[in-house]
Amino acid sequence: MDSELAAALADVKVARSEAPVGVADARALFQQFVIEPHKAFHEALLPPKDTYTVNDYLVPVEGGEITVRCLVPVVEDDRETFPVLVNIHGGGWCVGNIDLDDYALRGWCVRYKISVVNIEYRLAPEYPFPTAVNDCHAALKWTVSNAVLLKADFGKGFIIGGHSAGGNLSAVIAHIARDDPFFKGRRLTGQLLREPATCHYAAYPEQLKPKFRSIIENKDTPPITEEKLVQLIGWCNPSPSDPRFSPLLYPSHEGLPRAYIQASHMDILRDDAIVYAEALRSAGVEVKTDLYPGVGHGVFYDYPTTAPAARARAGVEEALKWLLGRLEA
Of 101, 102, 267, 272, the catalytic one is: 267
Answer whether 177's CB lies under 8 Å from 188's CB.
yes
CA–CA distance, 247 with 67 (Å, rounded to integer):
25
Distance CA 290, CA 202 (A): 26
Judge whether 190 and 259 are in contact, CB under 8 Å: yes
| Integer Cα distance of 80 and 87 in angstroms | 22
Q: How far apart are CA 145 and CA 139, in angstroms?
A: 10
Query: How many helices and strands (H and E) does the chain possess?
Result: 12, 8
Contact 283, 215 (CB under 8 A): no
Residue 282 to residues 179, 209, 287: CA-CA distances in angstroms?
Answer: 19, 17, 10
Kindly state the greatest CA–CA separation across the chain: 56
Whether 153 is catalytic? no
Does 297 participate in catalysis according to the annotation? yes
E strands in the chain: 52-61, 64-73, 84-88, 115-120, 158-163, 190-194, 258-264, 287-292
Q: Which of 115, 164, 246, 264 is catalytic?
A: 164
Residue 14: count other Cβ atoms within 10 Å of its Cβ: 8
> Among residues 171, 172, 186, 173, which one has the least CA distance to residue 139?
173
Active site residue 267: yes
> Which residue type, as a one-letter code, is found at position 326?
R
Residue 63 backbone phi and psi in degrees, to 5 = 85, 10
- Measure Cα distances from 40 to 31, 48, 213, 249 in Å: 12, 16, 35, 38
What residues are annotated to the active site?
164, 267, 297
